[in-house]
Amino acid sequence: MTNRLAIVLFILFIALLVGDGVLNDGSGTMIALKRFAQLTEWLAFWR
């Protein structure tokens, strides 16, 4: 991955987080974080 691509992806990710915070009060981010927590618990179970 080149530096330019990494910067573009980072800016896109931040823009999506800001857009979710402004338009949806961060509900999409919270749902994603809850699902990620469930995934890590599930993976820990299979370890």
CA-angle at 31, arms to 30 and 37, nearest 5°? 90
Q: What are phi and psi of 39, to 5 degrees?
A: -65, -45
Task: Confirm if 29 and 17 have CB atoms less than 8 A apart.
Answer: yes
Task: Give the three-state DSSP class for 7.
Answer: helix
Task: Confirm if 29 and 15 have CB atoms less than 8 A apart.
Answer: no
Q: The whole model's pTM is what?
A: 0.72
Domain boundaries along the sequence of the chain: 3-46
pLDDT of 4 reads 97
Give the pLDDT confidence of 4-29 residue by residue, as tens digits.
999 999 999 999 999 999 999 999 99
Task: Confirm if 29 and 20 have CB atoms less than 8 A apart.
Answer: yes
pLDDT of 1 reads 86
